[in-house]
Amino acid sequence: MVVFAMNRLRRRRAPLPVADGTPAWRGAAAFGGLLVVMVGGLAQSHTFLPRPDTGDRAVHAHVTDAFRRIILPDLVVIEPKGIGAGHLARLAKIPGVSQTLAVDGATITLGGRKLNAIGVNADQFRPWTPLHTASDTRLWSVLAHGGFVAAPKARREMRLRAGAGYQLTGASTASLTFGGAAPLGIVGIDLVVSNTVSARLGLIHDVAVFISAPGKAMAALRRGVRAVTGTGAKVIGLRQEQLPVGGAASGRPSTYLELFKASAAKYCPGLSWTVLAAIGQIESGDGTNNGPSSAGALGPMQFLPSTWRKWGITAFGERGPPSITDPYDAVPSAARYLCAAGAGTPAGLPRAIFAYNHADWYVAEVLALAHEYAQTYG
Protein backbone atom coordinates (compact mmCIF):
# COMPACT_ATOMS: atom_id res chain seq x y z
CA MET A 1 0.00 0.00 0.00
CA VAL A 2 1.34 3.41 -0.93
CA VAL A 3 0.01 6.56 0.68
CA PHE A 4 0.44 10.03 -0.80
CA ALA A 5 -0.19 13.04 1.34
CA MET A 6 -1.19 15.99 -0.79
CA ASN A 7 -1.04 19.04 1.37
CA ARG A 8 -2.12 21.55 -1.22
CA LEU A 9 -3.68 21.31 -4.62
CA ARG A 10 -4.11 24.49 -6.60
CA ARG A 11 -6.22 24.73 -9.71
CA ARG A 12 -4.21 23.71 -12.74
CA ARG A 13 -4.55 25.64 -15.97
CA ALA A 14 -1.38 24.79 -17.84
CA PRO A 15 1.15 22.09 -16.87
CA LEU A 16 3.25 23.33 -14.01
CA PRO A 17 7.04 23.27 -14.22
CA VAL A 18 8.59 20.70 -11.92
CA ALA A 19 12.03 19.63 -10.99
CA ASP A 20 13.33 17.14 -13.52
CA GLY A 21 12.84 14.04 -11.49
CA THR A 22 10.87 10.87 -11.74
CA PRO A 23 7.33 9.74 -12.31
CA ALA A 24 5.41 11.85 -9.97
CA TRP A 25 2.53 13.62 -8.42
CA ARG A 26 2.72 17.10 -9.87
CA GLY A 27 0.56 19.23 -7.81
CA ALA A 28 -1.43 22.29 -7.92
CA ALA A 29 -3.10 23.65 -4.90
CA ALA A 30 -6.23 24.32 -3.00
CA PHE A 31 -7.72 21.42 -1.21
CA GLY A 32 -5.98 18.98 1.03
CA GLY A 33 -6.28 15.29 0.43
CA LEU A 34 -4.95 11.84 0.85
CA LEU A 35 -4.64 9.46 -2.07
CA VAL A 36 -4.18 5.83 -1.19
CA VAL A 37 -3.15 3.60 -4.06
CA MET A 38 -3.04 -0.07 -3.14
CA VAL A 39 -1.39 -1.64 -6.13
CA GLY A 40 -1.54 -5.35 -5.39
CA GLY A 41 -4.66 -6.11 -7.35
CA LEU A 42 -3.77 -5.02 -10.83
CA ALA A 43 -5.73 -7.15 -13.17
CA GLN A 44 -2.81 -7.58 -15.43
CA SER A 45 -0.21 -8.09 -12.76
CA HIS A 46 1.59 -11.11 -14.18
CA THR A 47 -0.49 -13.49 -12.21
CA PHE A 48 -2.10 -15.92 -14.66
CA LEU A 49 -7.01 -17.55 -16.18
CA PRO A 50 -10.12 -17.83 -20.38
CA ARG A 51 -13.18 -16.62 -21.88
CA PRO A 52 -13.98 -19.25 -24.45
CA ASP A 53 -17.25 -19.31 -26.31
CA THR A 54 -18.56 -18.99 -29.80
CA GLY A 55 -21.30 -16.93 -28.21
CA ASP A 56 -18.78 -14.15 -27.59
CA ARG A 57 -18.17 -13.74 -31.32
CA ALA A 58 -20.37 -10.68 -31.77
CA VAL A 59 -18.96 -8.98 -28.68
CA HIS A 60 -15.34 -9.38 -29.72
CA ALA A 61 -16.02 -8.42 -33.34
CA HIS A 62 -17.49 -5.17 -32.06
CA VAL A 63 -14.73 -4.16 -29.67
CA THR A 64 -11.64 -5.18 -31.62
CA ASP A 65 -12.16 -2.14 -33.84
CA ALA A 66 -11.50 0.00 -30.78
CA PHE A 67 -8.37 -1.53 -29.25
CA ARG A 68 -5.76 -3.99 -30.40
CA ARG A 69 -3.95 -5.27 -27.35
CA ILE A 70 -3.87 -5.68 -23.61
CA ILE A 71 -0.84 -4.25 -21.80
CA LEU A 72 0.45 -5.98 -18.66
CA PRO A 73 2.07 -3.66 -16.09
CA ASP A 74 5.16 -4.93 -14.29
CA LEU A 75 5.64 -2.07 -11.85
CA VAL A 76 4.44 1.40 -10.96
CA VAL A 77 6.61 4.39 -10.09
CA ILE A 78 5.26 7.14 -7.85
CA GLU A 79 6.99 10.44 -7.10
CA PRO A 80 5.11 12.99 -4.98
CA LYS A 81 7.17 15.90 -6.35
CA GLY A 82 6.24 15.26 -9.95
CA ILE A 83 8.07 14.05 -12.99
CA GLY A 84 9.49 15.94 -15.89
CA ALA A 85 9.12 14.99 -19.52
CA GLY A 86 12.82 14.18 -19.71
CA HIS A 87 12.60 11.55 -17.02
CA LEU A 88 9.46 10.06 -18.52
CA ALA A 89 11.39 9.68 -21.75
CA ARG A 90 14.31 8.03 -19.95
CA LEU A 91 12.00 5.53 -18.26
CA ALA A 92 10.54 4.60 -21.64
CA LYS A 93 14.05 3.95 -23.00
CA ILE A 94 15.12 1.51 -20.28
CA PRO A 95 16.14 -1.71 -22.07
CA GLY A 96 13.25 -4.16 -22.06
CA VAL A 97 10.53 -1.56 -21.40
CA SER A 98 7.80 -1.80 -24.03
CA GLN A 99 5.15 0.61 -22.70
CA THR A 100 4.76 3.34 -20.09
CA LEU A 101 1.68 5.25 -18.96
CA ALA A 102 1.59 8.33 -16.74
CA VAL A 103 -1.62 9.21 -14.86
CA ASP A 104 -2.90 12.09 -12.76
CA GLY A 105 -4.42 11.52 -9.33
CA ALA A 106 -5.78 12.97 -6.09
CA THR A 107 -8.60 12.71 -3.60
CA ILE A 108 -11.86 14.34 -4.67
CA THR A 109 -15.25 14.69 -2.99
CA LEU A 110 -18.53 13.25 -4.24
CA GLY A 111 -21.70 13.45 -2.19
CA GLY A 112 -19.72 14.56 0.86
CA ARG A 113 -17.41 11.57 0.68
CA LYS A 114 -13.73 11.55 -0.23
CA LEU A 115 -12.80 9.22 -3.07
CA ASN A 116 -9.53 8.44 -4.84
CA ALA A 117 -9.57 9.48 -8.49
CA ILE A 118 -7.14 9.19 -11.37
CA GLY A 119 -7.12 11.16 -14.59
CA VAL A 120 -6.18 9.40 -17.81
CA ASN A 121 -6.24 9.57 -21.57
CA ALA A 122 -9.07 7.11 -22.19
CA ASP A 123 -7.57 5.57 -25.32
CA GLN A 124 -4.18 5.14 -23.67
CA PHE A 125 -5.45 3.77 -20.36
CA ARG A 126 -7.96 1.34 -21.86
CA PRO A 127 -5.49 -1.44 -22.80
CA TRP A 128 -4.06 -1.44 -19.26
CA THR A 129 -7.40 -2.46 -17.75
CA PRO A 130 -8.89 -5.97 -17.45
CA LEU A 131 -9.96 -7.43 -20.77
CA HIS A 132 -13.71 -7.30 -20.20
CA THR A 133 -13.39 -3.72 -18.95
CA ALA A 134 -11.37 -2.76 -22.02
CA SER A 135 -14.05 -4.46 -24.14
CA ASP A 136 -16.84 -2.20 -22.90
CA THR A 137 -16.89 0.37 -25.70
CA ARG A 138 -19.77 2.35 -24.22
CA LEU A 139 -17.87 2.85 -20.97
CA TRP A 140 -14.85 4.31 -22.71
CA SER A 141 -16.97 6.50 -24.93
CA VAL A 142 -18.55 8.13 -21.87
CA LEU A 143 -15.12 8.61 -20.27
CA ALA A 144 -13.64 10.15 -23.41
CA HIS A 145 -16.60 12.55 -23.63
CA GLY A 146 -16.14 13.92 -20.11
CA GLY A 147 -18.02 11.46 -17.91
CA PHE A 148 -16.55 9.31 -15.16
CA VAL A 149 -16.22 5.60 -14.43
CA ALA A 150 -16.20 3.95 -11.01
CA ALA A 151 -14.89 0.76 -9.48
CA PRO A 152 -17.76 -1.62 -8.58
CA LYS A 153 -17.28 -1.08 -4.84
CA ALA A 154 -17.50 2.70 -5.18
CA ARG A 155 -20.62 2.39 -7.32
CA ARG A 156 -22.34 0.23 -4.68
CA GLU A 157 -21.33 2.37 -1.74
CA MET A 158 -22.23 5.66 -3.44
CA ARG A 159 -25.36 4.19 -5.11
CA LEU A 160 -24.35 5.66 -8.43
CA ARG A 161 -26.76 5.35 -11.36
CA ALA A 162 -25.46 5.09 -14.90
CA GLY A 163 -26.47 8.13 -16.96
CA ALA A 164 -27.08 10.33 -13.90
CA GLY A 165 -25.14 13.53 -13.23
CA TYR A 166 -23.00 14.06 -10.12
CA GLN A 167 -20.95 16.89 -8.65
CA LEU A 168 -17.25 16.05 -8.23
CA THR A 169 -15.16 18.52 -6.25
CA GLY A 170 -11.40 18.92 -6.28
CA ALA A 171 -9.75 22.30 -6.66
CA SER A 172 -12.98 23.16 -8.44
CA THR A 173 -16.34 21.49 -8.97
CA ALA A 174 -17.51 19.79 -12.13
CA SER A 175 -20.82 18.16 -12.98
CA LEU A 176 -20.13 14.82 -14.68
CA THR A 177 -22.21 11.96 -16.03
CA PHE A 178 -21.63 8.55 -14.48
CA GLY A 179 -20.81 6.16 -17.30
CA GLY A 180 -20.88 2.92 -15.33
CA ALA A 181 -18.80 0.63 -13.16
CA ALA A 182 -16.19 -1.95 -14.09
CA PRO A 183 -13.07 -3.50 -12.52
CA LEU A 184 -10.25 -1.04 -13.09
CA GLY A 185 -7.36 -3.31 -12.21
CA ILE A 186 -6.10 -0.90 -9.54
CA VAL A 187 -7.09 -1.62 -5.97
CA GLY A 188 -7.75 1.57 -4.02
CA ILE A 189 -8.80 3.69 -7.00
CA ASP A 190 -12.49 4.64 -6.83
CA LEU A 191 -13.04 6.81 -9.91
CA VAL A 192 -11.49 7.46 -13.31
CA VAL A 193 -11.92 10.68 -15.27
CA SER A 194 -10.39 11.88 -18.53
CA ASN A 195 -7.27 14.00 -18.39
CA THR A 196 -9.32 16.98 -19.58
CA VAL A 197 -11.59 16.63 -16.55
CA SER A 198 -8.53 15.97 -14.41
CA ALA A 199 -7.17 19.40 -15.30
CA ARG A 200 -10.54 21.01 -14.43
CA LEU A 201 -10.63 19.28 -11.06
CA GLY A 202 -7.00 20.08 -10.30
CA LEU A 203 -5.72 16.52 -9.92
CA ILE A 204 -1.98 16.16 -9.48
CA HIS A 205 -0.41 15.80 -12.91
CA ASP A 206 1.57 12.66 -13.83
CA VAL A 207 1.57 11.38 -10.28
CA ALA A 208 2.27 7.76 -11.20
CA VAL A 209 3.75 5.89 -14.13
CA PHE A 210 2.94 2.30 -15.00
CA ILE A 211 5.68 0.37 -16.77
CA SER A 212 5.32 -2.78 -18.86
CA ALA A 213 8.48 -4.76 -19.53
CA PRO A 214 7.44 -8.33 -20.31
CA GLY A 215 10.34 -10.76 -20.31
CA LYS A 216 12.61 -8.39 -18.37
CA ALA A 217 13.95 -9.75 -15.08
CA MET A 218 12.36 -7.77 -12.26
CA ALA A 219 15.64 -7.10 -10.46
CA ALA A 220 17.17 -5.66 -13.62
CA LEU A 221 14.04 -3.61 -14.30
CA ARG A 222 14.12 -2.14 -10.80
CA ARG A 223 17.77 -1.20 -11.21
CA GLY A 224 17.02 0.53 -14.49
CA VAL A 225 14.15 2.49 -12.95
CA ARG A 226 16.21 3.47 -9.91
CA ALA A 227 18.96 4.74 -12.18
CA VAL A 228 16.41 7.22 -13.53
CA THR A 229 14.42 8.02 -10.40
CA GLY A 230 16.98 7.87 -7.63
CA THR A 231 15.88 6.75 -4.18
CA GLY A 232 13.09 9.27 -3.59
CA ALA A 233 10.42 7.64 -5.76
CA LYS A 234 8.26 4.71 -4.73
CA VAL A 235 8.80 1.72 -7.00
CA ILE A 236 6.24 -1.05 -6.58
CA GLY A 237 6.49 -4.37 -8.38
CA LEU A 238 3.26 -5.72 -9.82
CA ARG A 239 4.53 -8.97 -11.26
CA GLN A 240 3.96 -12.05 -9.16
CA GLU A 241 5.73 -15.12 -10.43
CA GLN A 242 3.69 -17.50 -8.34
CA LEU A 243 0.23 -17.10 -6.87
CA PRO A 244 -1.14 -19.49 -4.27
CA VAL A 245 -4.29 -21.39 -5.07
CA GLY A 246 -6.44 -21.21 -1.94
CA GLY A 247 -7.10 -24.40 -0.03
CA ALA A 248 -4.59 -26.58 -1.86
CA ALA A 249 -4.53 -30.09 -0.42
CA SER A 250 -1.67 -32.57 -0.43
CA GLY A 251 -0.94 -33.85 -3.91
CA ARG A 252 -2.66 -30.96 -5.70
CA PRO A 253 -1.00 -27.98 -7.39
CA SER A 254 -0.30 -25.31 -4.80
CA THR A 255 0.38 -22.40 -7.15
CA TYR A 256 -1.12 -21.19 -10.41
CA LEU A 257 2.16 -22.02 -12.08
CA GLU A 258 1.81 -25.65 -11.02
CA LEU A 259 -1.89 -25.66 -11.87
CA PHE A 260 -1.29 -24.47 -15.42
CA LYS A 261 1.42 -27.06 -15.94
CA ALA A 262 -0.65 -29.91 -14.53
CA SER A 263 -3.79 -28.90 -16.43
CA ALA A 264 -2.00 -28.73 -19.78
CA ALA A 265 -0.24 -32.04 -19.23
CA LYS A 266 -3.38 -33.91 -18.15
CA TYR A 267 -6.11 -32.36 -20.29
CA CYS A 268 -4.28 -31.30 -23.46
CA PRO A 269 -1.01 -33.13 -24.13
CA GLY A 270 0.87 -31.11 -26.70
CA LEU A 271 -0.36 -27.76 -25.36
CA SER A 272 2.28 -25.70 -23.58
CA TRP A 273 1.23 -24.60 -20.13
CA THR A 274 2.51 -21.12 -21.05
CA VAL A 275 -0.47 -20.66 -23.38
CA LEU A 276 -2.89 -21.36 -20.54
CA ALA A 277 -0.92 -18.93 -18.37
CA ALA A 278 -1.00 -16.21 -21.00
CA ILE A 279 -4.74 -16.57 -21.62
CA GLY A 280 -5.44 -16.60 -17.91
CA GLN A 281 -3.39 -13.50 -17.30
CA ILE A 282 -4.98 -11.50 -20.08
CA GLU A 283 -8.51 -12.60 -19.24
CA SER A 284 -8.69 -12.17 -15.47
CA GLY A 285 -5.28 -11.80 -13.89
CA ASP A 286 -5.67 -15.28 -12.37
CA GLY A 287 -8.93 -14.56 -10.69
CA THR A 288 -8.19 -10.95 -9.80
CA ASN A 289 -11.25 -10.03 -11.85
CA ASN A 290 -13.82 -12.84 -11.77
CA GLY A 291 -16.54 -10.80 -13.43
CA PRO A 292 -19.19 -10.94 -14.49
CA SER A 293 -17.94 -9.29 -17.66
CA SER A 294 -20.21 -7.18 -19.84
CA ALA A 295 -20.98 -10.38 -21.76
CA GLY A 296 -21.70 -12.34 -18.55
CA ALA A 297 -18.42 -14.27 -18.39
CA LEU A 298 -17.41 -15.47 -14.92
CA GLY A 299 -14.57 -16.93 -12.94
CA PRO A 300 -10.81 -16.97 -13.19
CA MET A 301 -10.99 -18.32 -16.74
CA GLN A 302 -13.93 -16.10 -17.77
CA PHE A 303 -16.29 -18.73 -19.13
CA LEU A 304 -19.74 -17.80 -20.28
CA PRO A 305 -22.25 -19.90 -18.30
CA SER A 306 -23.52 -21.50 -21.53
CA THR A 307 -20.00 -22.61 -22.44
CA TRP A 308 -19.32 -23.77 -18.92
CA ARG A 309 -22.31 -26.11 -19.00
CA LYS A 310 -20.70 -27.91 -21.94
CA TRP A 311 -17.01 -27.79 -21.06
CA GLY A 312 -16.80 -27.34 -17.29
CA ILE A 313 -15.41 -30.30 -15.35
CA THR A 314 -14.61 -31.14 -11.74
CA ALA A 315 -10.89 -31.81 -11.40
CA PHE A 316 -7.93 -32.12 -9.03
CA GLY A 317 -9.90 -33.80 -6.26
CA GLU A 318 -12.69 -31.22 -6.02
CA ARG A 319 -16.15 -32.47 -5.13
CA GLY A 320 -19.61 -31.69 -6.37
CA PRO A 321 -20.60 -30.15 -9.70
CA PRO A 322 -18.03 -28.10 -11.65
CA SER A 323 -17.61 -24.59 -10.25
CA ILE A 324 -16.99 -21.78 -12.71
CA THR A 325 -15.17 -19.75 -10.01
CA ASP A 326 -12.95 -22.57 -8.73
CA PRO A 327 -9.50 -22.47 -10.39
CA TYR A 328 -9.09 -26.22 -9.83
CA ASP A 329 -12.09 -26.70 -12.12
CA ALA A 330 -11.74 -23.67 -14.40
CA VAL A 331 -8.13 -24.05 -15.51
CA PRO A 332 -8.40 -27.71 -16.58
CA SER A 333 -11.74 -26.93 -18.24
CA ALA A 334 -10.01 -24.23 -20.28
CA ALA A 335 -7.31 -26.72 -21.31
CA ARG A 336 -10.03 -29.16 -22.36
CA TYR A 337 -11.86 -26.49 -24.37
CA LEU A 338 -8.68 -25.36 -26.13
CA CYS A 339 -7.70 -28.94 -26.92
CA ALA A 340 -11.06 -29.61 -28.55
CA ALA A 341 -10.43 -26.54 -30.73
CA GLY A 342 -7.06 -27.89 -31.87
CA ALA A 343 -4.55 -26.52 -29.34
CA GLY A 344 -2.80 -29.86 -28.98
CA THR A 345 -0.83 -29.31 -32.20
CA PRO A 346 1.34 -26.38 -33.30
CA ALA A 347 -0.70 -25.97 -36.47
CA GLY A 348 -3.99 -25.90 -34.58
CA LEU A 349 -2.87 -23.62 -31.72
CA PRO A 350 -3.59 -20.22 -33.33
CA ARG A 351 -7.03 -21.44 -34.44
CA ALA A 352 -7.79 -22.66 -30.89
CA ILE A 353 -6.76 -19.34 -29.34
CA PHE A 354 -8.92 -17.52 -31.87
CA ALA A 355 -11.85 -19.75 -30.87
CA TYR A 356 -11.24 -18.66 -27.31
CA ASN A 357 -11.46 -14.98 -28.19
CA HIS A 358 -12.30 -14.01 -31.74
CA ALA A 359 -9.63 -11.42 -32.54
CA ASP A 360 -6.36 -11.70 -34.45
CA TRP A 361 -4.67 -9.27 -32.09
CA TYR A 362 -5.65 -11.52 -29.18
CA VAL A 363 -3.98 -14.53 -30.79
CA ALA A 364 -0.79 -12.51 -31.28
CA GLU A 365 -0.86 -11.25 -27.68
CA VAL A 366 -1.34 -14.72 -26.22
CA LEU A 367 1.45 -16.24 -28.28
CA ALA A 368 3.82 -13.39 -27.44
CA LEU A 369 3.11 -13.58 -23.71
CA ALA A 370 3.40 -17.38 -23.76
CA HIS A 371 6.84 -16.97 -25.32
CA GLU A 372 7.82 -14.56 -22.55
CA TYR A 373 6.66 -16.99 -19.88
CA ALA A 374 8.68 -19.75 -21.52
CA GLN A 375 11.78 -17.54 -21.38
CA THR A 376 11.15 -16.52 -17.76
CA TYR A 377 10.28 -19.94 -16.35
CA GLY A 378 12.11 -22.24 -18.74
- Which residue ranges make up each domain of the chain? 2-237, 256-377
With CA atoms as reference, report the closest residue to 280 among 340, 203, 353: 353
Q: What is the pLDDT of residue 378?
A: 63
| H-type alpha helices, 31-83 | 57-63
Q: What is the pLDDT of residue 10?
A: 25
Q: What is the pLDDT of residue 246?
A: 56
With CA atoms as reference, report the closest residue to 310 among 1, 12, 52, 113: 52
Could you say which of 1.10.530.10, 3.20.110.20, 1.10.3720.10, 2.60.40.10 is the CATH number of the domain covering 256-377? Answer: 1.10.530.10
Measure the CA angle with vertex 42, ends 317 and 335; round to 5°: 35
Mean pLDDT, 10 residues at a time, the chain of 378 residues: 28 25 24 34 31 28 49 84 86 94 93 94 89 84 94 93 95 94 82 94 91 85 93 80 54 84 95 92 77 81 92 90 93 96 95 91 88 77
Q: What is the pLDDT of residue 217?
A: 83
pTM: 0.68
Q: What is the pLDDT of residue 239?
A: 67
Q: What is the pLDDT of residue 250?
A: 57
Q: What is the pLDDT of residue 334?
A: 96
